[in-house]
Each structure stands twice: as structure tokens, then as C-alpha cells.
Structure 1
Amino acid sequence: MLASFLLTAYLALGPVVSPPLPDEAAVAIRVAPTRVLLEERSGSHLTFDFAVQAGPDSLWLQKVEVSVYDKSGALVVRKFVDNNGFSPSVTSLSHRVFAPGKTALVFNPFHTFAPDIDVARLRYTFEFQKANQAEVTQTVEVKPERYQPKTALKIPLSGRLLIWDGHDENAHHRRLDFQHPVAQQFGIRSNFMRYAHDFVVVNEQGDKNTGTGKKNTDYFGFDQPVHAPAAGRVVAAYAQQPDNDNGQDFFNPREMVGKDPLLLYGNYLVIDHGNGEFSLLGHLRQNSLQVKPGDQVRADQLLAHVGSSGSSYFPHLHYELRTGKDLNVEGLPAYFRRFRLVRGSQSRPVAEGAIDSGDIVLQERK
């Protein structure tokens, strides 16, 4: 959970200025990450950003339009957000005003498409206005890649689990603004948690804790075993961070993240599964790790226990599939195998599938 990290660090930091653009360039827009992945989850989901840098003049974003084309090049659908009406839809964007020479992140407003829409190519058109009312238009082409992990993943916790915060458009993992001054000062240059999940153990009523919820022991998930989502080799780990508990927060972002950026997750493990796919498991209980860097682990092996270390408000397991073990890597879509998806009083088996914020799943281990 990143919010406490950003709030703690923000006031102490100075401004971050992007490299200047050539004077003749009114605006530069780049897609981040450059490799755009398409996640299949009841349709097509796109989780990428636009880094927008103004030239010598301030810019006000007026409209973003997307045109979606299928494999044959035919137009499938066209959508837009603009400044029309008393509550214009353009105000829903993460940034609308761009100061001269500064870069800000615009989260992609067109991220979800129905199963019958063939998302082969997208054309995004941005319309800006300068202070003198002059208009500036920029077009960006995106060709997404359907991503299927090579690693056969299994949810690393057992029992009834709520995806407390996943990676939908409102999730804090998805909305990691790596152009934010705090992120820049701490060396964050990408969204490594772009497809992350926070797993929380709940009872049949959906409660995550008993009592007041102030103590870690109030939570059903505290100290629950964490298993390897797949076989691989441990390439990074930390186990000594105390768990936040009963109003005590032991997470010091400036001291800890400066020493090891992954201490954002408190106690953590990173497993290299091969083929450029790594699992990160975070907020583990202090001194609960059963493995160390260099160890080979098998799928389902006991690794650690759930804690509340690092940037964590309460006991839960943070999981993300990523492209490397370090800070500035990218997140990858994760598809888990052999679980049950709960829909109220009903549930159904899922051979393999993606899950996201608000989903409740059942994971058994034999």
C-alpha cells in the first residue's frame, strides 16, 4: 500500500524538472511502458500510461479520443472524453494542465473493451489549448500485445481470499504515478506494480478481522502460510523489518527505501521463474522467511507467513508478477490456475484466469 509512503515523503522534496524539449515542439507524448500488454479478463484490458511533456508554453488538455481498429484495419469503435457540459468528462483524467517543460502522467482513460471488440491497433488523439487559445493536436498509435505468462502460477495463499486492491483503473497499484515528485526523488521510473494484487483472508461474511482491527492478531490472515506461486530460484529477500501493529508504524521511507528500494514492501521475497518472469511477495511477517537468496524452490513450497511490514496498513499479502528483481522493472499480467471464483452464494472452478479488485476466490492446497 503506497499511500503512506507518498504522504510521508512529499513535503520534504523539491521540484522535479524534466529535460527541456526543443523550442519548436509544443508537446511530446510517449507511451509508458513502450511494450503495451493486453490482459484478457472478461474482455480486453489495457494498463498503460501517457507521459505528456509540454514545450515552451503551458497546455490545457481539452480532449482525448481513441479509435480502435481490428486486424483488417477496419474501425471497430471510437470513444472520447472532452470538456463539453457542466461536468465535463475530461475532468476525470489524472492531469489536464501541463506547465512549460514539465512532464505529467495521464492514465489511459480507455482501458476496457468488450470481448467482441478486436483490439489490434489504437489511435489516441490529444487536443490541447495554449494560453493564447491556439490549439495543439498530437496523435499516438498503440499496438498492444496479448500477453500469456510462461509460468504456471498458483495463488500463494489458501482459503477464502478477497482481492482487496488489484490493478483495475481505481487501484493504487495501477495508479502509481512515477512522474510524481516523490517517485522521482526516490528513483522510481516505472510502474513495477502495474498488475499487482493485495490478497486478504476473509470469512464467509467477507470480514477481514475481528475486534477493533487495531492489532495484527485481529486479522484472519495474520501469520497465514505463504506458498511459492511456482518453481524458481530466490534472487532477493529481506526478513528483519518489524511488523506495523497496534498504531505503531515502523516504515521510514526515506531511510529504508534509500537503502533498499524493495523495503517499500517490508519483508519480501523475489523468485526468478525464468523466461523473464519474477514473482514478488511482500509485507511478510518479520523473521518468518523459510528460504534465502540462491535457494531453489518448488511450486507450493512454504516460503513465509503473512505480516504487515513496510508500507502496509494491515496484514495482507502483496503479490506481483514483474520483469525483474530490481526497482525499475515493469509489471506483467498474472493468470492463476486451479481456483474457485466466488459470486455470492455460488462459485465456479477456474482452470486459468485473471482476477482483480473486489474478486473473492477460494484456493485449496492438497
Structure 2
Amino acid sequence: MLSLLLALQLAAAPPAVTITVAPAQVWLEERAGSHLNFDFAVQAGADSLWLQKVEVSVFDPGGALVLRKFIDNNGFSPSISIVSHRVFAPGQPALVFNPFDYFPPDVAVGRLRYAFEFRDARRTTVSHTVEVQPRRYQPRAALRVPLSGRLLVWDGHDENAHHRRLDYYHPVAQQVGIRRNFMRYAHDFVVVNEQGEMHRGDGKQNAQYPGYEQPVYAPAAGRVVAAYARQPDNDNGQDYFDPRDLVGKDPLLLYGNYLVLDHGQGEFSVLGHLRQNSLLVKVGDQVRADQPLARVGSSGSSYFPHLHYELRTAAELNAEGLPAYFRRFQLLRGHRSRAVGQGAVDSGDIIVVPPRR
């Protein structure tokens, strides 16, 4: 009887830790190597846990071990400190951004094994292993960057970008209804001059930015499924963005004035922070690739005039982000440049997109 009771108690006890991969389908973005953009949702069981080590083993498509790397709690400035969350309270999920986000071109990524090591209050080691099998993503829509001219990717989706580091377990995110990272692969495009400068003067006024009111084009053919145009542009210290609108009015007002295009086959483009009353299309319109849609503004959650662009799986707020590969642009590297037929861009890149005809 005692052994039966003990077995029942053990069966009813929650696991020491639960770790799930988010999103469930991990995409591999190719750009001078393999980039992985996903999170771990970690939830401690009955006891608090302190993360001590994360190790990744990379296996090629044939199953052979290619490399193994780790971060741990060793040293005066331990590498584990770069992890977004290290202390986990019982029953409270928290997000850990994948600390191994890039592998060079000579590493053939087939499967990854992540080994987590925690300690509880009794200094007992708790271990957990997660398997990840990413797939390479190729957009179905033939995308082009939605602006022309010399552009800086002011913030993209690398490990340090705010788009990438959207913690949807944060209390504010939970309050406004954010449950997924819809901007996981987003870009903020800013028009710059030949010296790479984004604005004249002190940059406090929208008119000081050469990109302000520049035309925004359709990145590919599609149908307009959502739009908003009445939000005033933030300018000269005036901020008209109200986070309460995300709950009580429209969660897409995070982008201020916006357009959402349905390209079909599960791909949607979001174009945000558009100029007030600059939209040239409306919901239901079919648009062609490169068609003028609106103008660059600074509406919504925006510090200065720029275009926010993201590819995602649905029009509503809680979609998942998708990797975007753009066609026909020049990638600048100082005095050097190279033509890109199709490729990804990320934070810090300076590109030149030919004018539309």
C-alpha cells in the first residue's frame, strides 16, 4: 500500500522543469551562414530554479556531430549572464532567447540538441534536454524592399534587436494581449544620405529626415486586408501613441498607421508607422508588386520617421514572424558593393534599392 501511495504521489507531482520551443516550427534563415530565431519557454515545477548552463550540440543532416558549444556559470564574468532569464519561480513561465543564434557556412545544420542545467534551492542539479529540427524557409511571394534609395536597416532581427527580443511573458505584453513574437523577423528601414546620416540638425523634427514622406511600395502583389490612416505622426516631442488603444481599440495600432497585405499561401506583409492620411489604397483592394501604397511617417510606437516591415503568418496581432528574402538590391560595404539577386538583410546593413518605374 505504501509503495502504491508513493507511486501515486510521484505520478501527481509536476516535473521539475518544463521547456518548450517557441515557435513550434523553427525556421533557418540563410545569410552567410545559418541564423536561428526562436525562444525557449521555461517553467519551473514545485521549486524555484537557477539556470547554470546551456549547451548545444549540432548534428548534420546525416546525424554526425558537427560542433558543441556552451555557456555556463563559470568565471568572474560568466557567459550565462547573457541569457535573458536565469531565475525561474514555480509555475511562472519565462522566456529564454536562444543564445546560439548563428552558425558559419561550413556548419551543416540538420538537428540541434540543447541541454539545460539548473540548480534548485537545495543545490540539486536539474537537467533537461530539448531537440530542435529547423527547416529552411523560402518565401512564396517574390518580395522587394518596400522603399527605394539608400537605406539603413536601423534595427532588424539579430540577437540584440528589439524585434527579436520581444518577451511576450512580460506583464505589459500580457496585459495588451501579446502571446507570440509576430515581429520576430522584422526590419526598420531608414532612408540615409551618402554619408549614412539619417537626418539633418538635431533630428527632433520629422522634416529633418530625408525619408519622411518618401513613397512606400507594395513588396509583392496581394490584397489589402487591414488598414488604418488617422493616427497623427509623432513630431517635435509630441507622442500620440497610446498603449491603451492596443487593448480597447485595435492591437495593430502599435504600428500607428498601417497596411496589411495578404500575399496568399499563408504570407502577410505588415507596413507600419505610415504618414497620417497618406494611404492610397483601402481594405479589399488588389495591389500589384511595386505599386505605391502610402508614405513614410512616424506614427504609433515610433521615435522618428522610418518604415517598419515584417512578413508574418496572419493579419491579426498574434501571428508568427517569417523570414523575408528580398530581391534586386545592392549591399554596400563602404566603398565596395555587390548586387544581391535575392537575400536577407539585418541590423546595420546599408543597401541601395533601385527606383521603381
Give me the TM-score of the superposition, normalised by structure 2. 0.96
1:154 equivalent in alignment to 2:140: no
Give the Cα–Cα distance (whole angstroms) in 2 for the partners of residues 73 and 303 of structure 1.
Answer: 48
Residue type of the partner of 1:105? Answer: L
Give the Cα–Cα distance (whole angstroms) in 2 for the partners of residues 73 and 155 of structure 1.
Answer: 37
1:90 equivalent in alignment to 2:80: yes
- Give structure 1 stretches of 5+ with no counterpart: 1-20
**What secondary structure, in the 3-state scheme, does the structure 1 residue paired with 2:212 have?**
coil
1:31 equivalent in alignment to 2:21: yes
1:60 equivalent in alignment to 2:50: yes
Shift of 1:342: 0.6
Shift of 1:72: 1.2
The residue number in structure 2 matching 1:71 is: 61
Contact 1:257–1:263, Cα closer than 8 Å, also in 2: no
Question: Cα deviation per residue 1:34-82 (whole Å; 9 max; x = unaligned)?
Answer: 0000000100000000000011100000000000001111100000000
1:47 equivalent in alignment to 2:37: yes
Shift of 1:257: 4.3
1:251-270 alignment runs, 5 A limit: 251-270=241-260
The residue number in structure 2 matching 1:196 is: 186
The residue number in structure 2 matching 1:143 is: 133
1:228-243 alignment runs, 5 A limit: 228-243=218-233
Alpha-carbon spacing, 1:257–1:213, altered in 2? closer, same or farther (3 Å): farther
Alpha-carbon spacing, 1:336–1:22, altered in 2? closer, same or farther (3 Å): farther
The residue number in structure 1 matching 2:6 is: none
Residue type of the partner of 1:133? Answer: R
Contact 1:202–1:209, Cα closer than 8 Å, also in 2: yes
Contact 1:216–1:315, Cα closer than 8 Å, also in 2: yes
Question: Cα deviation per residue 1:268-302 (whole Å; 9 max; x = unaligned)?
Answer: 00000011000000000000000001000000000
Query: Which structure would you say has the larger Rg?
Result: 2
**What secondary structure, in the 3-state scheme, does the structure 2 residue paired with 1:66 have?**
strand
Of 297, 308, 314, the match for 1:307: 297
1:117 equivalent in alignment to 2:125: no
Contact 1:342–1:362, Cα closer than 8 Å, also in 2: yes
**What secondary structure, in the 3-state scheme, does the structure 1 residue paired with 2:123 have?**
coil
Give the Cα–Cα distance (whole angstroms) in 2 for the partners of residues 302 and 257 of structure 1.
Answer: 31
Contact 2:245–2:253, Cα closer than 8 Å, also in 1: no
Give the Cα–Cα distance (whole angstroms) in 1 for the partners of residues 91 and 323 of structure 2.
Answer: 33
Contact 1:257–1:264, Cα closer than 8 Å, also in 2: no
Contact 2:176–2:246, Cα closer than 8 Å, also in 1: no
1:184 equivalent in alignment to 2:174: yes
Contact 1:22–1:55, Cα closer than 8 Å, also in 2: no
Of 329, 335, 344, the match for 1:345: 335
Residue type of the partner of 2:168? Answer: F
Structure 1 runs (4+) deviating above 6 angstroms are: none
1:100 equivalent in alignment to 2:90: yes
Residue type of the partner of 2:141? Answer: T
Residue type of the partner of 1:295? Answer: D
The residue number in structure 2 matching 1:319 is: 309
Alpha-carbon spacing, 1:257–1:161, altered in 2? closer, same or farther (3 Å): farther
The residue number in structure 1 matching 2:284 is: 294
Q: How many residues align?
A: 346
The residue number in structure 2 matching 1:18 is: none
1:173 equivalent in alignment to 2:173: no
Shift of 1:100: 1.1
The residue number in structure 2 matching 1:333 is: 323
**What secondary structure, in the 3-state scheme, does the structure 1 residue paired with 2:327 have?**
strand
**What secondary structure, in the 3-state scheme, does the structure 1 residue paired with 2:318 have?**
coil
Give me the TM-score of the superposition, normalised by structure 1. 0.93
Residue type of the partner of 1:248? Answer: Q
**What secondary structure, in the 3-state scheme, does the structure 1 residue paired with 2:332 have?**
strand
Give the Cα–Cα distance (whole angstroms) in 2 for the partners of residues 255 and 95 of structure 1.
Answer: 29
Give the Cα–Cα distance (whole angstroms) in 2 for the partners of residues 344 and 318 of structure 1.
Answer: 25
Alpha-carbon spacing, 1:257–1:200, altered in 2? closer, same or farther (3 Å): farther
Residue type of the partner of 2:187? Answer: H
